[in-house]
Structure formats: structure tokens, C-alpha cells
Amino acid sequence: MLAFAATSLLTPTETVKDPLLLIEQGKVADVIARTAVALPTGVSPTTFADAVIAPAYIDLHIHGGGGFDVMDESPEALLVIERLLARHGVSAYLPTTVTAALDKTLQALERLADSIEDHRTKGNGGPRAVPLGIHLEGPFISHARRGVHPPADLLPPKLETFERLWQAARGHIRMMTIAPELEGSPAVIAEAVRRGVCVSLGHSDADSAATARGIVAGARHATHTFNAMRPLDHHNPGILGAALADERLSADIIADGVHVDPAIVRLFARAKGDLQTVLITDATAATGMPDGRYHLGSLTVDVKGGVCTADGRLAGSVLTMDQAVRNLARFAGWNLSQSVAAATRNPARVARLAGKGILASGSDADFVVLSPEGEVLRTFIAGQEVQRNS
């Protein structure tokens, strides 16, 4: 048994003062006050003075990092990305595709499925972030709100196309972004939901009627709110109005101060509250790298001053999840527990990731050690510490 102590622990639904986190075989055995139990003989706690223990982070929307994209053919790509994620406190993620030629997408889905299954059967060769499913962003998105997704590769939503994508991914598609106004979308949404996929509305020019049809079909989330969707119209508010006001939808946001102004992040946090606000990074291969030219799927992106663009349009981010948590606290005036929940409990609920995003008896022993300001000092995955220089 391993034991860890700190000044406080965020479960994150409650704050435990002077806690003791007990871990056995990669799982949380218990979370208790340090004075409440006598440790077994020979067990001495590792103490993190003046620090906070919290669940490790989860990123539902990430394209890459460290110079690599999740759709790269290189066997090194996911290894580099997962080590970078872990250093920034992320223990689990959904590798996110970007629209590409269908054959390229199918090949990428097969590689990502291989990686997910390898993690499950062989372990990950040392503690690093674990892919728990695939986020399919495109090809079923709107030409009008495609962002930088290549227009030639967008496809109309059809059940037979979804089936090809599903088979290539061997059932590992856990999240899908789709434009509900496209002909055929309701049927694809309903079938994806039947298979356990979290369907998210985004990259869409949907009006209120089309948005409602998507929700009725089973969509329950919104992708990078405010970005790549119809702006708010007080007569016909569309997806944005539903994301802000409809309790059936949780929603995510890129809190980098670039994609959305801090004042709008504050508005969003007030509207969705601390149960339905989800942080994502939408990070690209440029994350953790100096300014320069990188790739996003088949696209070339330029990074200058922390801003990713392609042909003058925003193209993902270089945001890390630990920075997103600190930004949310600052932009929205939230405390650390609320902000941590938006990167842990809430995404775990959205993607239905059992045992993730919380610290409680029986949960996975994935946790971070934070400074009082939210800086990641150490990361542990399945009870094993991530090497900061790996």
C-alpha cells in the first residue's frame, strides 16, 4: 500500500483537509483525514507540504503536441504526445481527428484503435496519458462553419459512412462532433448514441430548429462553445443559445484567452455552472514547441506568439490543460476546486469514463500534486509517478 499526504485534497466534490490518500494496485483504497486512521506497519506516507492533491486531468479534445499529430503515421507520435500530456497533469485523453480524405481518416482510426487496445492489454510502458477512446471531429460538419477543416473532405452524414468509420475504429469512437442541420444528421446522431457515443454539436450553422432536432436525436454536448458555430442571435439563438441555456447539454470551451475573451469565459461559466462546464485544449502539434510551422492532420499551421492559424484563421491551440484550469479560475473568479472539476469530474461524466476524474475508494489512482495556485508539481498515473523530464 502507498500513502500520500498534503495540505488538502480535492475529490473534487469536496475538500479534505490534512488528507491521507491510500493507494493499492493502481486504485484508490481510501481518502481520509490523516488523523482518522493508523497506517499499517511499514507504510510511511509521502508528504507534499503546502500542496494540494487533486484528480489528474482529462482532455476530450486534443489533436497533438510535441511536434506530432494524433493522425501521424509515426509510431513515436502518440508516445511523445502522451508524455507531454502527463507532464501537464493529464492522465486520460480522447485523441481527436481532423477532417481529412476518407481513406486517411480510416487509416488513422485503425492506428488509434491499435493504441487504445495496446494500452489495455500491454500497459503503456511507463506512466503516461492513456487514450480511452476517439473523438471524431469531422467529416460530418458544416461548410459554413468548418473553420480550417478542408472543404473537399467534408462528407454528408450517412449511416453507411458512419459504419465505415466505426468499423475502422473497432468501436472505439467515444465522442463525435456533428452539425445537426445537415441532411441525414438526426439518423446518424441516433445511431451513434445507440452505440454509446457522446454526440456533440459543433462546427455548425444550425438554427434553433435544427439544434432542437439534434438534441431530440440524442446529442448532449456542445463542442468548443462560441467557436465554429452561428453567433448568438436573440431571435434565433441556435446551438450557442442551447449550449448556454439548455440543461440537457453540457458544453466545453477553450479557455486560452485567444479563442474566447475572458469576459465570455466568465459568462459561459455562470451559464453552465460548475457541473456542466468542461475544459478542453484543442491542442495541436505545436503545443510545447517554439513558434514555427507545424501540421494539423493534413493542414499546415503557423504559430506565433502562442496563436495557431491556417490561412489567417484560428487552427487549434497551444493550450495545456493545467494552464486552462488556472485560466478558468482567473477568468471566471472560480476557486481551484471548481476549476479542477471542469478538467476532471465533468469531462469524465460527459465521456462516461468510469473510475476517472475523481478520487474516491475504487477510482483509478490518477492524481496531480498542485501548488495553491494550480501549478502542476507532480503527476501520478495508476499510482506511478510521471517523470518530469521524460
Q: Judge if 186 and 48 occupy the same domain.
A: no
Q: Residue 26 is part of which domain span?
A: 1-55+358-390
Q: Has residue 274 got a pLDDT over 70? A: yes
pLDDT above 70 covers a percentage of the chain that reads 99
Q: What is the mean pLDDT of residues 71-97?
A: 96
pLDDT of 110 strictly over 60: yes
Residue 147 maps to which CATH number? 3.20.20.140
**What confidence tier does 40 reach under pLDDT thresholds 50, 70, 90?**
confident
Indicate if 145 and 4 belong to the same structural domain. Answer: no
H or E, element range at 46: strand 46-55
pLDDT of residue 387: 84
Do 19 and 147 lie in one domain? The reply is no
Q: Given this model, what pLDDT does residue 299 score?
A: 87
- Report d(CA 309, CA 300) in Å as an integer: 9
pLDDT at position 125 over 80 = no
Mean pLDDT, the chain, rounded, equals 95
Q: Which whole-number Å values give the CA distances from 286 to 245, 316, 375, in the listed order?
A: 34, 9, 21
**Residue 115 shares a structural domain with residue 258:** yes
Same domain (yes/no): 135, 229: yes
Residue range 315-323: mean pLDDT, rounded:
97
- Short-list 325, 331, 340, 317, CA closest to 65: 317
Q: Is the pLDDT of residue 390 over 60?
A: no
Query: Number of H helices and number of E strands within the chain?
Result: 10, 23
Task: Find cell 450557442 and name the residue.
Answer: 240
- 46 and 62 fall within a common domain: no
Domain co-membership, 108 together with 248: yes
**Residue 259 shares a structural domain with residue 390:** no
pLDDT of 356: 97
Whether residues 385 and 256 share a domain: the answer is no
Q: Are strands 64-65 and 57-62 parallel, antiparallel or unpaired?
A: unpaired
Same-domain pairing of 213 and 328? yes
Which of 125-134, 196-205, 269-278 comes out lowest in average pLDDT? 125-134
Question: What pLDDT, in 10s, does the model give residues 24-38?
Answer: 999 999 999 888 777
Q: Three-state SS across 54-78?
A: EECEEEEEECEECCEECCCCCCHHH
**282 is a catalytic site residue:** yes
Q: What residue type is assigned to position 19 of the chain?
A: P
**Given the C-alpha cell 441555456, which residue does it identify?**
245
38 in Cβ contact with 20 (< 8 Å): no
Average pLDDT over residues 352-357: 97
What confidence category does residue 42 fall into, taking pLDDT thresholds of 50, 70 and 90? confident
Q: Where are the alpha helices (DSSP H) in 176-304?
A: 185-194, 208-217, 238-245, 262-276
Total structural domains in the chain?
2
Beta bridge partners of 309: 302, 314
Residue-wise pLDDT for 63-80, tens only, equals: 999 999 999 999 899 999
Residue 162 and residue 42 share a domain: no
Domain match, 19 and 136 both:
no
pLDDT confidence of residue 123: 65
CATH code, 368: 2.30.40.10
Choose, from 69, 207, 282, 366, the residue flagged as catalytic: 282
**What average pLDDT does the segment 83-97 reach?**
98
